[in-house]
Amino acid sequence: MRPTTRSQTPDRTRAKPAGRRGRTASDAPDNAAEGTAAGRLPIVPVGRDTLQDRVHRQLSDLILDGEIAPGQLVTINGLAEAFGVSAMPVREALKRLTAANALTVVSGRTIGIPPLSRDRLDDLHRVRLEVERCAVIWAAERIGTDDIAILDGEFAALQAAVAAGDTKGFLRANRAFHFAVYRAAGSPVLLAVIETLWLQISPYFNLLHGSGNYTDANRHHAEMLAAIRKRDARRLGAAVRADIDGAYDMLARLVSPADRRPAD
């Protein structure tokens, strides 16, 4: 067989920019062997649903990291341009996040963070206490030295962000710190539930930057780290409860100053 040259067989492994037209069924080789003849794996066209999932993941990360604050508006076209995709996968991702109460349509193609009522804040607080304490108790039994090293790095980032007055840096490190612990619980189902809760509450952590809560939160984070090193599940559960309660108390004053946290 005559060897294949570069000019005869184009490189099929070169990535295409997100959002551009991918190969269709008519472009694909008639036989999978064609894709492996030169030792290459066959290239499977990226379906539209996969692109939508990627956009949904990136949008979720923006919300979880506090990059979209309450009162901040974004547009479908603006997001599509930023992601380098068409408007369609952005619309589909926004539908999913709107259904999850993470985003709301403000007007036309403008999207924002939903208003936070006191009832909704109370409900999120109660559920977070149960679910996140469960996660850290499980994590205390499973967490490894590599996980602790990651937590040390994120805690250092949290301290640096407070010292620099860096709100966005704090929020990114706060999410990374907490979810490193929750992942150590070893339950994808539990982790997905926690992410759904954080999609609804984490944008409001932006409002705590001038309250002193970030400094208080780092004291709770330090206590969480100490409990993790001792594999002390009870102490770890108490520390995460104190962290959740601290943010709740400050947000409750902003939502309805005359109200106080109800007894559990």
Task: Look at residue 239 in the predicted model and tell me its pLDDT.
Answer: 98
What CATH number is associated with residue 243? Answer: 1.20.120.530
pTM, full prediction: 0.78
Which residues form the domain of 162? 118-255
Task: Look at residue 64 in the predicted model and tell me its pLDDT.
Answer: 96
Q: Are residues 248 and 175 in the same domain?
A: yes
Q: Which string of DSSP letters, residue by residue, matches the chain?
A: -PPPPTTTS--TTPPPPTTS----TTTS-SSHHHHHTTSPPPPPPPPHHHHHHHHHHHHHHHHHTT-S-TT--EEHHHHHHHHTS-HHHHHHHHHHHHHTTS-EEEETTEEEPPP--HHHHHHHHHHHHHHHHHHHHHHHHH--HHHHHHHHHHHHHHHHHHHHT-HHHHHHHHHHHHHHHHHTT--HHHHHHHHHHHHHHGGGGGGGTTTTHHHHHHHHHHHHHHHHHHT-HHHHHHHHHHHHHHHHHHHHHHH-TT--PPP-
Q: Are residues 188 and 235 in the same domain?
A: yes
What's the total number of domains in the chain? 2
Q: Are residues 146 and 206 in the same domain?
A: yes
Task: Look at residue 40 in the predicted model and tell me its pLDDT.
Answer: 60
Task: Going from the first residue of the chain to its last (264 residues), give the mean pLDDT of each consecutive group of 10, the final group possibly shorter.
Answer: 45 44 47 46 59 92 94 92 92 94 90 95 98 97 95 98 96 97 97 98 94 95 97 97 97 72 49
Q: Are residues 164 and 64 in the same domain?
A: no
Q: Are residues 54 and 143 in the same domain?
A: no
Q: Are residues 232 and 176 in the same domain?
A: yes
